[in-house]
């Protein structure tokens, strides 16, 4: 099979874990007759049987974006609870490291052919999903990011001819607010969402945006992003802080993929105003299309020596642990996972009032929010916090307390309960 083994506001914090009631055929593969694959026998999920853990196929982008991070962390947590997790993507997810006996990675192999001007990833992914489902007896596919994963899952379900396989699609943001609204994608995104057995969104904002933009008449469950608050916790490291701010300057941090929607130049302009009033340093984590523009901007403003471009980092808890303020002036954010990571490390956030950010950041308590592009107001908020130690301490404590409500254990239980509910309902039969 060409598989590579690798490892890993209204929530119900005490929700129990669950096991799926069904039995599985002893057959763990598929008989092959010529080129025909015969899928393994499956039980009806609606019948009462002995309890077993569920077998999950997770499809996600393996990059640094929030959807891939959340999908990977979800898979790792589900595997730790005893479920079998199969990641299906074109590359190993960035956060998938170490070994776990409950996690397998299946690489989507792409072939080049002169006739095809562009890679046919959607079709190759669907074929790989069929292969994994046949040989690993998958119970459900969990697709993170609608394009093209939900479409590939629909095709795979049709090819398999196994209606009892459930497809759950989690909407993360730009798949709905940007990419999916393109005329060339809108019909297929709408179709794929409507033909998923279950759909979740990471914020109320994203749920409402999906229903409004696509005219979808379907239940969408809001299950927020999550964080391991035992890992993301502020740690004192005087050496790191001494290297970044040798003269005791305040430290402002921003992390993103340096795309236009993140408005990283606004971060630099905010910092330029802050540094005129408060001795400070700016740390920028990540990389992307606008990094060069931002570096030139810092040189033009004469502040390049006070701004550190760290590039891509797989883990930046140590940097967040020395930060005094986190900046997120984005044009669009469905949730704001990096802001949550900062808050868990007791770092107040100054952000724009877009998308799901107001659902995460409590204005005047864990940070401040302002209109998109209002650089002066964001700078004033930053200066106010950084110049008032007592207020900053209160905001830091409140940020940590707020982050605890998004503890991974609580949210993973919500996903498990949602799996159980969807698998107890009649499956959507492909047309």
All domains of the chain in start order, with CATH: 20-226+409-424 (3.40.50.2000), 238-406 (3.40.50.2000)
Q: Which two tokens stand for residue 31?
A: 């008989």
Strands (DSSP E) found in 108-246: 140-144, 166-171, 198-201, 221-222
d(CA 256, CA 247): 27
Whether 244 and 308 have beta carbons less than 8 Å apart is answered as yes
d(CA 239, CA 244): 9
d(CA 252, CA 274): 10
Give which of 124, 130, 123, 139 is closest to 22, Cα–Cα: 139
Residue keyed to tokens 């900053």: 392
What is the pTM for the complete model shown? 0.83
CB atoms within 10 A of CB 168: 24
**Partners of 87 in beta bridges:** 58, 105
Q: Which pLDDT score, from 0 to 100, does residue 180 have? A: 57
CA dihedral (394, 397, 400, 402) positive or negative: negative
d(CA 329, CA 332): 9
Residues making up the chain, counted from first to last: 431
**Partners of 255 in beta bridges:** 285
Please, how many CA atoms are within 13 Å of residue 306, restricted to the half-sphere of its CB?
Answer: 23
Where the chain has pLDDT below 70, the residues are: 1-52, 180-181, 430-431
Q: Which pLDDT score, from 0 to 100, does residue 52 have? A: 64
d(CA 193, CA 397): 39
Q: Which pLDDT score, from 0 to 100, does residue 362 have? A: 97
Question: 44 in the Ramachandran plot: left (φ > 0), alpha (ψ -120 to 50) or beta?
Answer: beta
d(CA 184, CA 188): 8
């Amino acid at each position: 099979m060409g598989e590579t083994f690798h490892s890993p506001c209204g929530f119900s914090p005490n929700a129990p874990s669950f096991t799926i009631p069904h039995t599985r055929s002893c057959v763990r593969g598929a008989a092959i007759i010529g080129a025909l694959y015969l899928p393994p026998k499956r039980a009806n999920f609606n019948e009462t049987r002995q309890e077993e853990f569920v077998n999950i196929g997770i499809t996600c982008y393996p990059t640094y974006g929030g959807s891939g991070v959340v999908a990977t962390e979800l898979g790792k947590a589900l595997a730790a609870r005893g479920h079998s997790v199969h990641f299906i993507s074109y590359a190993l997810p960035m956060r998938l490291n170490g070994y776990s006996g409950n996690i397998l990675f299946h690489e989507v192999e792409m072939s080049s052919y002169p006739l095809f001007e562009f890679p046919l990833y959607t079709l190759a992914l669907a074929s790989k999903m069929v292969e994994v489902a046949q040989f690993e007896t998958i119970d459900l596919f969990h697709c993170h990011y609608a394009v093209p994963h939900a479409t590939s899952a629909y095709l795979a379900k049709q090819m398999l001819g196994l209606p009892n396989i459930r497809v759950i699609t989690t909407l993360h943001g730009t798949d709905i607010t940007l990419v999916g609204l393109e005329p060339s994608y809108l019909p297929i995104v709408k179709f794929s969402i409507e033909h998923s057995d279950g759909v979740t969104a990471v914020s109320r904002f994203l749920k409402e945006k999906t229903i409004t933009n696509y005219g979808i008449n379907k239940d969408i469950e809001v299950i927020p992003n999550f964080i391991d608050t035992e890992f993301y916790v502020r740690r004192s490291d005087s050496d790191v802080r001494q290297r970044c701010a040798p003269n005791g300057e305040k430290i402002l941090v921003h992390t993103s993929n340096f795309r236009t929607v993140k408005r990283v130049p606004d971060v630099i302009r905010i910092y330029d105003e802050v540094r005129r009033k408060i001795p400070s340093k700016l740390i920028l984590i990540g990389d992307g299309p606008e990094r060069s523009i931002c570096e030139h901007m810092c040189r033009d403003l004469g502040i390049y020596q006070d701004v550190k471009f760290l590039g891509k980092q797989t883990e930046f808890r140590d940097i967040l642990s020395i930060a005094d303020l986190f900046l997120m002036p984005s044009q669009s954010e469905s949730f704001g996972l990096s802001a949550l990571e900062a808050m868990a490390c007791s770092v107040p956030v100054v952000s724009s009032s877009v998308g799901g950010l107001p659902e995460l950041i409590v204005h005047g308590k864990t940070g401040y929010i302002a209109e998109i592009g209002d650089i002066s107001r964001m700078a004033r908020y930053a200066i106010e916090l950084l110049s008032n130690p007592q207020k900053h301490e209160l905001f830091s404590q409140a940020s940590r307390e707020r982050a605890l409500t998004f503890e991974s254990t609580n949210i993973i239980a919500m996903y498990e309960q949602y799996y159980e509910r969807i698998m107890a309902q009649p499956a959507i039969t492909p047309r």
